[in-house]
Amino acid sequence: MLDLDGTLLHTAPEIAAAANQMLQAMQRPTLDPLQIQGYIGEGAQMLIQRCLMGSSANVPDAAALAEAQALFLKFYADNVSHSQPYPGVVAGLEAMQKAGYRLACVTNKPASFTLPLLQASQLDSYFSVVVSGDSLSKKKPDPAQLLHVCEQFQLAPEQALMVGDSISDVTAARAAGCYVFTVPYGYNHGLVLQSDASIAQLGDALTLLH
């Protein structure tokens, strides 16, 4: 099971651009793209809320959140397919597939963006299961998505591996009872992640699995 944002694809530039377009449209101050990158990993709604709050502690009201979400989704739809895979991702997926592993993409990104993004980056053919942030009633860090994949593959959780870049990935894997590897790049908010292994790129996972 592989996370999408920050693990397979570098999506932060496009997300940050859409978020700042949203803020401009609402006549609010724009934010440093690196600040917005720090908001990635817990789903679009949380990212939008944090962008509206900026350095303030005041949570925006429901009307502002609804307006912001509509704007963000509109702007992000315009550039979502521009995101590119990290180095080694395609080669790693190829190697995993050739080694006989079944692959699933597990992300908190809404399905309306997940599927077009996988298709545009030509990664969709590697995954027999894709679970997006709105596929189930709960998403990472809850284990529901990971347990769903295990059911689809008819595997016990201890036979499955999650590869991700954030604390949400690690927390979900631990709660599900799966193994978890992390990549050092991506959007981990500067946290030290307590995973089973840290791999420089996806292909390195195979060395540890054999």
CATH topology of domain 11-81: DNA polymerase; domain 1 (1.10.150)
Q: Which band of pLDDT confidence, cut at 50, 70 and 90, is reported for residue 42?
A: confident
Task: Check 3, 5, 165, 169 and give the catalytic one.
Answer: 3
In 3D space, the residue among 89, 101, 108 whose CA is nearest the CA of residue 146 turns out to be: 108
DSSP letter string over 77-146? HHHGGG-EEPTTHHHHHHHHHHTT---EEE-SS-HHHHHHHHHHTT-GGG-SEEE-TTTSS--TTSSHHH
Report the SS3 class of residue 159: helix
Which CATH number among 3.40.50.300, 3.40.50.1000, 3.30.110.60, 3.40.50.2300 corresponds to the domain 83-209?
A: 3.40.50.1000
Tokens found for residue 161: 């591996």
Q: Quick one: average pLDDT of 128-151?
A: 97
Is 165 a residue of the active site? no
Tokens found for residue 57: 């502690």
As a residue count, the chain comes to 210
Is 54's pLDDT higher than 90? no
Q: Which band of pLDDT confidence, cut at 50, 70 and 90, is reported for residue 196?
A: very high
Q: Quick one: average pLDDT of 199-207?
A: 94
